[in-house]
Structure 1
């Protein structure tokens, strides 16, 4: 792998830490800003809003920019938003900086994906994307608890300063490893990008992305509460179990990076089938600590083994106009991240209990398998349509 791919993963780690760390800082932020904890929680929703919109918009606006310039501009703006957020005394300004930071973070994701796959052979795309996306996995395993600890001991603003410093450091790495004054490769036109987006098989892939992510996140979002309320674990053991989930996700993304280049569809089938099986078993055994803890590890492993294939697949489907396709895939990830916890909340609010989230996860995973099959059918039809006609 080129060193630039690892630098892109480092940048995703720095920015992904900001995406995740607020979950552990809400009480401190609410007290300092003079708002309720639910209002502070809306800062997480603000980030999701920025992520949904930022990737496709910025992908089009910077289509003819060199990758190096786009990545450094996005990171500089991300740093500036965190400096502003750390200095602001008011909730409203902080909310606006969260939306803006997520907006450019999504743009960074989109360009980073294109930059990473453009620097490796076609049969190493999934592995490269596994390294880039692995930055977010490490953010969940290391950045989330570290950011929470910094915020609890030094104040939430210190956590924002730390993210700004890490992001600035990643700018140095990207500036040193991604060179060139012009675009890194042939530049497609907006018209070509939009034409590529019309392919039904590409939208089937987006459906797979949103459903696969949602199948895992609907359970993970309420996992801590399930472990204490249903499984009966003491609160002090919850971080250790969540660390097992992180270890499983790290293993999954490493395996998926190796298998997705040669067998993308099989990887997607196997990963989603594993999520379905683990979710069903978790729903049935959530009241027993030993199987529940083991299943949490497996949920992370099967949930993340699909990640490299989900990221790399759109490049094979989009052909010579991949930028907008990759950006929309980032939005598809965030659709799953946003909608799945909402569905789980509806089930819990209806009195169905925390294990109901795992049943929803199993249903979403099964639907994801259906979209993989649909995408294969669509791809086969497209190949048939492109085959030249021979007159005998």
Structure 2
């Protein structure tokens, strides 16, 4: 395994930690700045919106630049944003730091996916992407509990200093371990990258990403209420239950990456179908604590197991211009998060109970399955569109064989 993949995974770990650890520190942050919990929650929402902007804007702006320097530059931005958050004397400056850090999120994973695929043989591209995203899943399993503990013991600012240090480690790792992939073929350009969006399969893949993740996060966003108010767990048990969810993410990501190297569409059809079944069972059996533990873990596994395949599929159909399409898919993940959270919140506000977001998640996931069936059928009817396969993930990164 190329050591550059480990450096990319460390970067993913730090970025994932930045996104998720704030959820466990909101009370401390709100108290420190003297704002309401709702205002503190905007530190999460503002981050998500900035991810979408960065995923599209920064990726497009850096299209002509070599990818390794772009990745190191994004990490410098990430370190600066977290350092600003750690030192912020006011809520407004804290929000500024969050937005700066978020801008690099989508572009890092979008460009990093292309770089990861270029570090290995074409038939191992999805597995390489899964390794990079392992950092994101590990942030949920290990980083968030540790970061929350650190913030509660030594103040929430200490957590953001620790994240800044992780960013420095990732920066050094990428600078020393990721090779400068040679350019072969047409020079990268924004116009060329935009041609990826002529493909109907790219748009179908992005739609599956929005709906697939929207379904899972529709259920997950309000999972603490489900666990305590429906399943009967004590609030002190919630962090440990979320560790199980995170463990499911890690296992699902690994298995999904291995299977996607064999069949992208088959993996997506299987995992999305399984996620739909899990969500229906979860909504039905949530009052049973044992069933809840099993289904919560399975939800994480099948939900995140789609990530390597979704990212690989968008890149596959991007017609040799995968960078912007890859960034757009990262934006689609975050749009799915927002969609799931919004629809789940509507059902709770309507008085439909704390299992209603899970039912909504199941409905959204069913829609994702329908779109995926259409996409797979279209790919079978037009096999030449798929003939490019993983080998065309990045025609400007043919140093893969040398790596």
For the aligned pair, the TM-score class normalised by the smaller chain equals over 0.9
2:317 alignment partner, SS class: helix
The residue aligned with 2:193 is 193
Q: Does 1:364 pair with 2:360?
A: no
Task: Supply the RMSD in Å over aligned alpha carbons.
Answer: 1.8
- 1:379 deviates by 3.1
The residue aligned with 1:327 is 327
Deviates more, 1:351-360 or 1:177-186: 177-186
Quick check: 1:64–1:183 contact (8 Å CA) kept in 2?
no
Quick check: 1:51–1:103 contact (8 Å CA) kept in 2?
yes
The residue aligned with 2:395 is none
Deviations, residues 299-358 of structure 1 (Å, cap 9, x unaligned): 111112211101111111112111111010011011011111111111011011111111
Write out the 4+ residue segments of structure 1 that deviate beyond 4 Å after TM superposition.
181-186, 380-387
CA distance in 2, matches of 1:231, 1:155: 32
2:262 alignment partner, SS class: coil
The residue aligned with 1:317 is 317
CA distance in 2, matches of 1:155, 1:148: 10
The residue aligned with 1:288 is 288
- 1:179 deviates by 3.1
- 1:181 deviates by 8.7
Deviates more, 1:60-69 or 1:183-192: 183-192
CA distance in 1, matches of 2:256, 2:111: 22
The residue aligned with 2:391 is none
Deviations, residues 240-289 of structure 1 (Å, cap 9, x unaligned): 22121111121111111110011111111111111111111111111111
1:180 alignment partner, SS class: coil
Quick check: 2:317–2:385 contact (8 Å CA) kept in 1?
no
Quick check: 1:75–1:105 contact (8 Å CA) kept in 2?
no
The residue aligned with 2:86 is 86
Quick check: 1:65–1:182 contact (8 Å CA) kept in 2?
no
Quick check: 1:247–1:297 contact (8 Å CA) kept in 2?
yes
Quick check: 1:63–1:187 contact (8 Å CA) kept in 2?
no
- 1:184 deviates by 8.2
1:290 alignment partner, SS class: helix
Q: How does 1:238-277 map to 2 (within 5 A)?
A: 238-277=238-277
CA distance in 2, matches of 1:6, 1:279: 33
Unpaired runs of 5+ in structure 2?
Answer: 388-403
The residue aligned with 2:306 is 306
Deviations, residues 118-158 of structure 1 (Å, cap 9, x unaligned): 12122111101111111111101111111111111111111
- Counterparts in 2 of 1:169 and 1:183: CA distance versus 1, 3 Å: farther
The residue aligned with 1:126 is 126
- 1:77 deviates by 1.2
The residue aligned with 1:75 is 75
